[in-house]
Amino acid sequence: MAAAPRAPLPLALLVVSAALLAGASLSPAVEAGAGAFDVRRHLSTVTRYDVARGSNSVVSAPSMSDECRVIHLNLVARHGTRAPTKKRIKELDRLAVRLKALIHEAKQAPESDSMKNIPSWIKGWESPWKGRVKGGELVSEGEEELYNLANRVKERFQGLFDEEYHPDVYSIRATQVPRASASAVAFGLGLLSGKGKLGPVKNRAFSVLSESRASDICLRFFDSCETYKDYRKRKEPDVEKQKEPILEHVTSALINRYHLNFTTQDASSLWFLCKQEASLLNITNQACQLFNEAEVSFLEWTDDLEGFVLKGYGESINYRMGLPLLKDVVQSMEEAIIAKEENHPDGTYEKARLRFAHAETVVPFSCLLGLFLEGSDFEKIQREESLDIPPIPPQGRNWKGSVVAPFAGNNMLALYQCPRKTGGSKISQDQKNSYFVQVLHNEAPVSMPGCGSKDFCPFEEFKEKIVEPHVKHDYDALCKIRPVAREEPSSFSSRMWNFVLGLFSQNGDKKTEL
């Protein structure tokens, strides 16, 4: 006989339902003061970088000797804050038409107070991007994010960027997507400000390298991996079904609260509008104020769920297809170590490899490093086992899109050379130094489960424990279409989630874009 479900899970599900149904009794998700709820911290991957850094709770004590010196830096960064894409601009245009129709319908209602609960901004609202035929470009706020990041990197790793610029010493790479290459340019301007003779601030020209979109398996591996594209096509409908109960409840709450006949598509578009207004325009008292705190938390979770399943730990192909990038990072560090061991003078070898790409690049790379896992999940991914979906609010979780991959989100791997303790024994010249890797996510040192939860890992241990379990695979072999394998028995938590779906399942909505 099957064991009875443990009490905490059903209780948590009841709390979820109660919080969603409580709708009108909870506070709107308005801009808040210090320590209060701030919707701008709950926008998943649409979160601005400065907001994400400000809410970063990672605390790491210094773990390296003052005698250690950084000799090489790898940066893998997402592009900065961007405008809505062309597809999303059209969605907002359709939302404007839909809101006008709902207002007209409400005016025709027999109840004299039918308009009383409707927020005034909705009446006559038009999209701020109305008339735009192109989108997705880096905006000025995004330029500032990368420019300021470069200045902080230069300050943090003093001495590393003292050499005269040469593209072989400071390699800057980006995908061919304009917002990524523009982010690389903004970073380069900050990094090399004062290093040239151009203009009053003494800028200098620098090189940004890009591979063709069709063949860039280092930064756009997801474009060339047929196995991944097949997995995503099959999995997207399942993700939508998992999101349905929350979206249905939020829609019901909006109808009760504002007396407008919203559909789930309306609710989805209004949540997207909230994210765009809060992130790009710093407006939190319009679309965002339609939702209360609980609803924002659950809508954020649906976005995070989508990122987890389709881009993160939901399936090993999501991150194992990032092997070319991981190998490139390790190769660059090995080349720097060889240069130091052979006493190459500074300025004759690469000191930094700086890459600018997308959330679909940063998320898999973070997974390859084993970041943002729960409990013993690291051992599971090493064995290529599937992981449970992120805990549902109000439970806490490590996987949050606002932290994993906000705009300009990044991973830095700093390679340090440290004197090796001899204990009085004699050692040969080539044993005098040892090398360590420190991983920083959004500029904060993070512990690596594969390295005893240290944030300062011996390079050889980093390769053995974190890298080698992945590199046993081959990108070309991984990314060929293979027959669909029989699904493994679902985990207990997955069965519980299916139980919730059975209670609340109705029609779903379009997927949310990362």
Report the CATH number at residue 361. 3.40.50.1240
> Residue 512 and residue 91: Cα distance in Å, rounded?
12
79 and 94 co-located in one domain: no
The predicted model scores a pTM of: 0.87
| Three-state DSSP class for residue 387 | coil
Please indicate, yes or no, if residue 268 is contained in any of the structural domains. Answer: yes
Question: In the predicted model, is pLDDT for residue 447 greater than 60?
Answer: yes
409 and 327 co-located in one domain: yes
376 and 445 co-located in one domain: yes
pLDDT tens digits for range 309-327: 999 999 999 999 999 999 9
> 467: which DSSP letter?
I
Range of the domain at 239: 88-136+226-307
- Report, as an integer, the average pLDDT of 254-261: 95
- For strand 352-357 and strand 69-78, is the pairing parallel, antiparallel, or unpaired? parallel
pLDDT tens digits for range 471-488: 888 999 999 865 555 445
Please indicate, yes or no, if residue 221 is contained in any of the structural domains. Answer: yes
242 and 318 co-located in one domain: no
> Residue 31 and residue 279: Cα distance in Å, rounded?
12
> Residue 368 and residue 222: Cα distance in Å, rounded?
14
303 and 414 co-located in one domain: no
Question: In the predicted model, is pLDDT for residue 442 greater than 50?
Answer: yes
320 and 399 co-located in one domain: yes
| Confidence at residue 385, expressed as pLDDT on a 0 to 100 scale | 81
> Residue 110 and residue 415: Cα distance in Å, rounded?
71
Sequence-ordered list of residues with C-beta below 8 angstroms from that of 288, at least 6 positions apart, any chain:
29, 30, 39, 274, 277, 278, 296
Question: In the predicted model, is pLDDT for residue 461 greater than 70?
Answer: yes
Nearest alpha carbon to residue 391 among 472, 505, 311, 297: 297
* 397, burial (CB in 10 Å: exposed 0-12, middle 13-18, buried 19+): middle
Which range is least confidently modeled, 175-184, 253-262, 426-435?
426-435
221 and 233 co-located in one domain: no
Please indicate, yes or no, if residue 61 is contained in any of the structural domains. Answer: no
| Confidence at residue 293, expressed as pLDDT on a 0 to 100 scale | 97
Please indicate, yes or no, if residue 426 is contained in any of the structural domains. Answer: no
Tokens of 50: 């400065």
pLDDT tens digits for range 186-200: 999 999 999 999 999
Angle, helix 226-258 to helix 8-21, in steps of 10 degrees: 50
Would you tell me how many other CB atoms lie within 10 Å of the CB of residue 236? 14
CB 297 within 8 A of CB 394: yes
Which range is least confidently modeled, 109-113, 243-247, 506-510?
506-510
| Confidence at residue 63, expressed as pLDDT on a 0 to 100 scale | 58
In the chain, what are the helix, strand and coil shares in percent, each to the nearest 5?
A: 45, 10, 40
> Residue 477 and residue 43: Cα distance in Å, rounded?
36
Residue ranges of E strands in 442-511: 444-445, 456-458
194 and 242 co-located in one domain: no
302 and 312 co-located in one domain: no
368 and 459 co-located in one domain: yes
Would you tell me how many other CB atoms lie within 10 Å of the CB of residue 219? 28
Q: Which percentage of the chain shows pLDDT scores above 90?
A: 73
Please indicate, yes or no, if residue 446 is contained in any of the structural domains. Answer: yes
| Confidence at residue 115, expressed as pLDDT on a 0 to 100 scale | 82
Nearest alpha carbon to residue 370 among 319, 331, 407: 319
**How many domains, the chain?**
2
pLDDT tens digits for range 380-403: 888 878 899 999 999 999 999 999
Place of tokens 């995004």: 142
Q: What are the backbone angles phi and psi of residue 292, rounded to the nearest 5°?
A: -90, 175
Question: In the predicted model, is pLDDT for residue 431 greater than 60?
Answer: no
Question: In the predicted model, is pLDDT for residue 56 greater than 90?
Answer: no
Q: Cis bond leading into 393, ω under 30°?
A: no
Query: Which residue, 292, 307, 322, sits at the end of a domain?
Result: 307
| Confidence at residue 66, expressed as pLDDT on a 0 to 100 scale | 78
pLDDT tens digits for range 65-98: 778 999 999 999 999 999 999 999 999 999 999 9
pLDDT tens digits for range 167-188: 999 999 999 999 999 999 999 9
- Split at pLDDT 50, 70, 90, the class of 216 is very high
pLDDT tens digits for range 228-239: 999 999 999 999
CB 321 within 8 A of CB 225: yes
- Report, as an integer, the average pLDDT of 109-134: 88
Question: In the predicted model, is pLDDT for residue 499 greater than 90?
Answer: no
CB 260 within 8 A of CB 106: yes
How big is the chain by its Cα radius of gyration, in Å?
25
| Confidence at residue 472, expressed as pLDDT on a 0 to 100 scale | 84
* 388, burial (CB in 10 Å: exposed 0-12, middle 13-18, buried 19+): middle
* 164, burial (CB in 10 Å: exposed 0-12, middle 13-18, buried 19+): exposed
Please indicate, yes or no, if residue 514 is contained in any of the structural domains. Answer: no
| Confidence at residue 493, expressed as pLDDT on a 0 to 100 scale | 52
| Confidence at residue 421, expressed as pLDDT on a 0 to 100 scale | 64
- Report, as an integer, the average pLDDT of 34-53: 92
Sequence-ordered list of residues with C-beta below 8 angstroms from that of 423, at least 6 positions apart, any chain:
none
| Confidence at residue 54, expressed as pLDDT on a 0 to 100 scale | 80
Question: In the predicted model, is pLDDT for residue 60 greater than 90?
Answer: no
Residues forming beta bridges with residue 353, ordered by sequence position: 74, 171
CB 257 within 8 A of CB 117: yes
371 and 267 co-located in one domain: no
DSSP for 96-125, please give it. HHHHHHHHHHHHTSS-TTTTTTS-GGGTT-
Please indicate, yes or no, if residue 279 is contained in any of the structural domains. Answer: yes
Q: Sign (positive/negative) of CA torsion 166, 172, 175, 179? A: negative
Q: With residue 504 as reference, give the H or E element that holds it.
A: helix 492-504
CB 371 within 8 A of CB 403: no
pLDDT tens digits for range 348-382: 999 999 999 999 999 999 999 999 998 889 888 88
| Confidence at residue 22, expressed as pLDDT on a 0 to 100 scale | 47
Sequence-ordered list of residues with C-beta below 8 angstroms from that of 314, at least 6 positions apart, any chain:
235, 308, 386, 387, 389
Please indicate, yes or no, if residue 210 is contained in any of the structural domains. Answer: yes
Question: In the predicted model, is pLDDT for residue 465 greater than 80?
Answer: yes
Would you tell me how many other CB atoms lie within 10 Å of the CB of residue 293? 18
Residues forming beta bridges with residue 60, ordered by sequence position: none
Which range is least confidently modeled, 96-105, 192-201, 251-260, 485-494?
485-494
313 and 442 co-located in one domain: yes
Sequence-ordered list of residues with C-beta below 8 angstroms from that of 441, at least 6 positions apart, any chain:
58, 366, 371, 403, 409, 410, 411, 412
For 168: left if phi > 0, alpha if psi spans -120 to 50, otherwise beta; the answer is alpha
Report the residue count for the chain.
514
Half-sphere exposure of 112 (CA within 13 A, CB side): 0
Kindly report the average pLDDT of the chain as a whole number. 86
